[in-house]
Structure 1
């Protein structure tokens, strides 16, 4: 829903989210391997669970990137009027 205060060309920062998830993926893989080699199975399992979460997040980000831009109302659609602030 448009309120009239957002830019008409605003987009989600999917590329930034993608590169942050790549960074998280690298660290979770490293953490899982390092803790497994150090004989810390609990920490390795925790890093493995985070690895799964990061992988699912990356898949969703890539899906959204492949979908492309979604419908946005054009300039011919009037925006909703922003609420007026009353000062006491």
Structure 2
């Protein structure tokens, strides 16, 4: 039961998320390199894992940006109820 209101009710500031991810990617890479050079393999590994997570998130964000603002899922996505805006 799609209402057609999804573009207005399900938005995300993708460009802001992209730049925050870029900032996180820089810090995670710097942390990985810094801790590796300081001889702290545990912290370097933790920063490396964080770097991988941020890189995957950035890839998803870029994919959504490329899909454009009018993207709608295909017929293989089941319908859902629209959000209830009536609060008592």
| TM-score normalised to structure 2 length | 0.72
Gap runs ≥5 in structure 2 = 73-81
- Residues 2-48 of structure 1, C-alpha deviations (whole Å, 9 max, x = no match): 6x8xx948731000000000000000000000000000000000000
Could you tell me which residue of structure 1 aligns to residue 67 of structure 2? 67
Q: 1:59 and 1:80 mapped to 2: Cα distance?
A: 28
Of structures 1 and 2, the larger Rg is shown by 1
Mean alpha-carbon deviation: is it higher for 22-31 or for 7-16? 7-16
Helix, strand or coil at the partner of 2:39? coil
Q: Cα RMSD over matched residues? A: 2.8
- Residues 47-86 of structure 1, C-alpha deviations (whole Å, 9 max, x = no match): 0000000000000000000000124xxxxxxx9874362x
The yes-or-no answer on 1:83 pairing with 2:59 is: no
Gap runs ≥5 in structure 1 = 72-78
CA change 1:11–1:37 in 2 (3 A) is same
| TM-score normalised to structure 1 length | 0.72
